[in-house]
Chain A
Amino acid sequence: DTGVSQDPRHKITKRGQNVTFRCDPISEHNRLYWYRQTLGQGPEFLTYFQNEAQLEKSRLLSDRFSAERPKGSFSTLEIQRTEQGDSAMYLCASSLIVNEQYFGPGTRLTVT
C-alpha cells in the first residue's frame, strides 16, 4: 500500500501523559498536513509542512502540541500533558499538488 500511513491507529492514555503519533506520507509528496476530527465534526486544520519547514499553524495548536518533520519525510505530532478534550481522531494528509490532499486512516486518541 503506497498511501499515507499513521501509527498507532488507536491510543488510550491517562490524563497528563504525553503521546506521540507518526505519519508517513506518500513518498513523493513534499507537503504534509495534520488535522483533528472530533465526533460529528469535519476535520479541523492543525498545521502544515512543506518539506521539513513548518509553514503554518492553526490557533487550535496550543503550546502543548508540537509537530516535526525532521528530514522532510515522516512527521510526528506530540501532545504533552494530555487533557480529556484532546480525545479525537488525528488525521495526517500529504500532497504533491496544492489543494489535492490524500489522507491517512487516522490515529484515534482517547484520554481517560
Chain B
Amino acid sequence: AQSVAQPEDQVNVAEGNPLTVKCTYSVSGNPYLFWYVQYPNRGLQFLLKYITGDNLVKGSYGFEAEFNKSQTSFHLKKPSALVSDSALYFCAVSPRAGANNLFFGTGTRLTVIP
C-alpha cells in the first residue's frame, strides 16, 4: 500500500528565511512524488514532481524538493520565503509509473510572517 505523511500541520517562517515543508512516503517500487499548493478559493496548483534522475527537483515559484531514497523523504524547500507563499501545501505519491491516481498527504499550512 502507498501512503504519504506530512508530519507538520502548520509551519511558520519569517519572510526572507528559508523554508522547509516535510514529507515522507511509503510505496512499493519506485516512487513518483509531487507537491501541490492550494490557495484559498482556488484549485490545487502543481509545483513540481520527481520521477527519476537528479534528486533535487526545481519547480514553480522558486520552490525545490529533494528526494532522499534512504529516508523515504521528499521535503519541499525554498531559500527565501515570501508572504505570498502562505498557503496549504500537499505532498502526493503515485503508486507506479502510469498510475492514474494520486495519494495525498493531509497537508501543511505554511504561514510566512512579514
* Residues of the A chain whose Cβ atoms lie less than 8 Å from the Cβ of B42: 105
Within 8 A of B (CB), among A72-112: 91, 93, 98-106
Instruction: Give complex CA distance A100, B1 in Å.
Output: 21
Instruction: Give complex CA distance A42, B37 in Å.
Output: 11
Q: Is the CB of A48 within 8 A of B46?
A: no
A1-16: CB near B (< 8 Å → 1, else 0) gives 0011000000000000
Q: Is the CB of B100 within 8 A of A43?
A: no
* Residues of the B chain whose Cβ atoms lie less than 8 Å from the Cβ of A98: 98-100
Most buried by B among A43, A45, A58, A105: A43
**Pair count A-B, CB < 8 A:** 60
Report A41 CB to chain B, min CB distance, Å: 6
Q: Is the CB of A3 within 8 A of B100?
A: no
Q: Is the CB of A55 within 8 A of B43?
A: no
Instruction: Give complex CA distance A102, B34 in Å.
Output: 12
In the complex formed, the residue of B with least CB distance to A92 is B43
Q: Is the CB of B49 within 8 A of A100?
A: yes
Instruction: Give complex CA distance A55, B32 in Å.
Output: 20
CB of B60 closer than 8 Å to a CB of A: no
* Residues of the A chain whose Cβ atoms lie less than 8 Å from the Cβ of B99: 98-99
Q: Is the CB of B100 within 8 A of A58?
A: no
Instruction: Give complex CA distance A12, B101 in Å.
Output: 28
Most buried by B among A3, A45, A55: A45
Report B9 CB to chain A, min CB distance, Å: 8
Q: Is the CB of A56 within 8 A of B43?
A: no
CB of A21 closer than 8 Å to a CB of B: no
* Residues of the A chain whose Cβ atoms lie less than 8 Å from the Cβ of B34: 99
Q: Is the CB of A101 within 8 A of B102?
A: yes
Closest 3 A/B residue pairs (Cβ): A42-B104, A45-B101, A103-B43
